[in-house]
Amino acid sequence: MASFERFDDMCDLRLKPKILRNLLSEYVPNEKQPLVDFQSLSKVVSTISTHKLLSESPSSSADQKKIQAKPSKSAVDEWVERLLALVSSDMPDKCWVGVVLIGVTCRECCSGRFFGLYSVWFNSLLSHIKNPESSRIVLVASCTSVSDLLTRLSRFTNTKKEAVSHASKVVLPIIKLLEEESSEALWESIVHLLSTIVILFPAAFHSSYDKVEAVIASKIFSAKTSFNMLKKFAHFLALLPKANKGDAGSWSLMMQKLLISINVHLNNFFQGLEDETVGKKAIQRLAPPGKDSPLPLGGQDGALDDASWNSEELIVSRVSALMFCSSTMLTSSFKSKLNVPVASLLSLVERVLAVNGSLPRSMSPFMTGIQQELVCAELPTLHSSALELLRATIKCIRSQLLPYAASVVRVVSSYFKKCSLPELRIKLYSIIKTLLKSMGVGMAMQLANEVVSNASVDLEGFDTVSSKPPSLTNGAVLKGGSKKRKHASNSGAEAENSAVEVGVPHNHSLKIAALEALETLLTIGGALGSNGWRERVDKLLMTTATNACEGRWANAETYHHLPNKSSTDLVEFKLAALRAFLASLVSPSPVRPAF
């Protein structure tokens, strides 16, 4: 008779236990049944999430609740029993399925069932993490499921002590795995779990803080860590001060260690490119007068192993990771008021941006051409990281940057003069926008000429580009029987036949960045435009918007056929041009525009 049972609709609560039992019988293996297909697990997870099969939600009707509660609960009981059996299996594939589905169950089950079983589930998962014979797929899944369990547990206000106790039991075992294992998939799951713990239960690190810092630092300094994992380790390192008392002193100590380590690396990388006293003064500036220097980051000397010191690429990747960590610390929220070392940060940025690969005369004999080539290949990456650090510093302190405004203007202005790479110029425009928004009219007056002159160069480069094909003059039409005419028009033909790419803007992103910087300048300081720059900007923006709308540079129909291009890029450029032109129209001006 059960097979002829009818349901009201797809939301009928009587469907839940039946669908759940069907998943158990069809897709979830048992002790005797082998795992048919790993991909079927995604269907199980999706179905459970869509239909809320583990929620055991009550019905609005008391009578219906009594009728439905028992079968629904028995189905979830069967589900939990099956998972515990799978987690205890000696077969890695079945154990992996059980571990993964326990994580799903932690997220989806009702509060009462989770509260009653979370300790059992936690101990089962922890046993796999501690077991040296556990396979990697089980270890990865165990770390992910523990993260899900702790995240759910953090929502219960009456289990704070138990939650911290459970989280602290995990820290040292996964740090040991991080030291011993070389799988980046496992590293990633461990870092994710550590980040979950430091955000939700920072007290769990109190007894193991130094050990955690040392292991994370060793991975950052290791030559075997990929750049993708470097950023993940650096991001976690930026969160770690929250676990060490969580006060401003812990934050300052970590920032000081990072800056010292970065400068130590730069001392090696910039050998032959800058005076040796620059690096020494930078490190001395980081040591407070009358106080001992802090212990090195992670208890190490802040250096790579000897073999890695010979690789400029590895040094730059580590320095970039440490700068990313510093930037993350500056832009992340912290419960205490921070004492940001602005002078040291600006000094570091200025030091990096001052090196452009050229050899000082006094240093020329100490660097070979090959060494200079390797350094120059990595400098754009290093400069990009330094610019990100500068932007993070400005975002962190905003209007409090006033005592250092002159230094920031000097750094930005001098780097604009020698920066030609579009990606770096885009970052400079972004920094200028942040500066203008943070410091207002005063900064606009200081940077106006610099912004206008550089944006004009980046935008006026399209004025000569036309969507029409170049017409051939009479002198360029060559006849085979007239050698005299051919020789007479040779130079003209070469000029006309030179390679000219028509109708394709070379870098929309750079143009958009320049337009946005001009828009911000006009919005904040347009009324103070003087010395002719305001009139020049108004004309430039009118011309740019007109050309963009008339399609003189490219049209959407042809642009999306170009490699790595899409019509969206062109639309975004048109919108940026129109927004900047609108700012020109509405911004007060001491001079009436010619148009």
Residue 302 is assigned to a structural domain of this protein: yes
Residue 41 is assigned to a structural domain of this protein: no
Q: Please tell me the number of Cα atoms within 13 Å of 434 on its side-chain side.
A: 23
Question: Of the candidates 402, 419, 436, which is a domain's last residue?
Answer: 419
Number of domains in the chain: 2
Task: Tell me the pLDDT tens digit for each residue of 461-487.
Answer: 644 333 333 333 333 333 344 444 444
Task: Tell me the pLDDT tens digit for each residue of 324-383.
Answer: 999 999 999 888 888 999 999 999 999 999 999 888 766 656 677 888 888 899 999 999
In the block, tokens 């990771």 appear at 321
Residue-level pLDDT at 271: 84
Distance CA 365, CA 64 (A): 90
DSSP string across 147-207: HHHHHHHTT-GGGHHHHHHHHHHHHHHHHHHHHH---HHHHHHHHHHHHHHHHH-GGGGTT
| Range in 7-11, 183-187, 233-237, 562-566 the model is least confident about | 562-566
* 372 and 253 in a common domain: yes
Residue 444 is assigned to a structural domain of this protein: no
* 413 and 317 in a common domain: yes
Residue-level pLDDT at 548: 87
* 266 and 410 in a common domain: yes
- Burial label for 132, CB within 10 Å (0-12, 13-18, 19+), is exposed
Question: Of the candidates 419, 446, 480, which is a domain's last residue?
Answer: 419
* 528 and 389 in a common domain: no
Confidence band for 503, pLDDT divided at 50, 70 and 90: very low
307 with 224: CB under 8 angstroms? no
* 401 and 258 in a common domain: yes
Residue 26 is assigned to a structural domain of this protein: no
| Range in 11-15, 49-53, 278-282, 474-478 the model is least confident about | 474-478
Residue-level pLDDT at 429: 97
98 with 134: CB under 8 angstroms? no
Residue 236 is assigned to a structural domain of this protein: no
Residue 97 is assigned to a structural domain of this protein: no
* 397 and 537 in a common domain: no
**Contacts for 385 with CB less than 8 Å, ≥ 6 apart:** 319, 320, 323, 324, 352
Cα 458 from chain centroid (whole Å): 27
Residue 292 is assigned to a structural domain of this protein: yes
Task: Tell me the pLDDT tens digit for each residue of 569-592.
Answer: 788 999 999 999 999 998 887 666
DSSP string across 54-114: T--PPPSSHHHHHHHHHHHHHHHHHHHHHHHHHHT-SSHHHHHHHHHHHHHHHHHS-HHHH
Question: Of the candidates 387, 402, 419, which is a domain's last residue?
Answer: 419
Residue 584 is assigned to a structural domain of this protein: yes
* 248 and 356 in a common domain: yes
DSSP state of 358: P
Residue-level pLDDT at 364: 58
* 398 and 256 in a common domain: yes
* 509 and 404 in a common domain: no
Give the range of the structural domain holding residue 332, as residue numbers without chain letter: 243-419
* 409 and 512 in a common domain: no
Confidence band for 456, pLDDT divided at 50, 70 and 90: very high
* 512 and 384 in a common domain: no
| Range in 311-315, 433-437, 482-486, 496-500 the model is least confident about | 482-486
* 284 and 385 in a common domain: yes
